Amino acid sequence: MTQTPFHVVFAIFDQITQLDFTGPAQFLCRMPGAQVHVASATLDPVVTDVGFAIVPTTTFADCPQADLLCVPGGLGVAPALSDAQLINFVRNQASEAQWVTSVCTGAFILGRAGLLQGRRATTHWGYTGLLPMVGAVREDARTVFDGNVVTAGGVTSGIDFALTIIAELHGEDVARSLQLNFEYDPAPPFAGGTPATSPKPIVAMMRERFYDARAAEMEAALNATA
């Protein structure tokens, strides 16, 4: 008996954070029946925020309808908020998708497409205060489900989101099997990883050196595209 494909579509754009995309993609591609599509405006390589490129598998125009749509984040989100082709693709795909998801600041792409209005959502800790600008209700969690919309926090949380979705679709045993397959057993060398668990001087330093400026850029981009 032929299994109906479950189409997983990642919408990508220049300056995405590659782990926002590749983390969940590595897990979701192993779901029973999964077919992963990497969609962009063209088939030209998409440059990530670490300098190497990812080659899309399909264009927005030719992409099949997603069963699960995922939008990663990264340094390219602020300029992407004014990319009508990307926003329209996300909005149109979301209208028929079973699951509409994001990782990190990809939540703001969902928000700009009108998909977070009145919904609980999360994003990277450096930007959570901006979620109300796209109509979302901020929730500080690694993964937030609100109906069929799922938002994950910063970067590595995309793996947790993928495993949670897999469990929803195929049961906990399948999710646990994939967790074992990829030896996902986080044991970081340092306590931290969130503002609440990191030393206050490090949090302050990161905000001052990076996130205050980046959040201001995101806020300006959201205002410009409101």
Q: What are phi and psi of 189, to 5 degrees?
A: -70, -15
Collapsing DSSP to helix, strand or coil, 46 comes out as strand
Question: In this structure, how many other beta carbons lie within 10 angstroms of the beta carbon of residue 113?
Answer: 22
Q: Which helix (H) or strand (E) holds 47?
A: strand 46-47
How remote is the C-alpha of 160 from its chain's centroid?
12
Q: Is residue 149 a contact partner of residue 121, using CB atoms and an 8 Å limit?
A: yes
DSSP string across 108-156: HHHHHTT--TT-EE---TTTGGGGGGGT-EE--SSEEEETTEEEE-STT
Task: Give Rg (Cα) of the chain.
Answer: 17
DSSP 208: I
* Cβ burial, residue 137 (10 Å; 0-12/13-18/19+): middle
Q: Which residues are catalytic?
A: 104
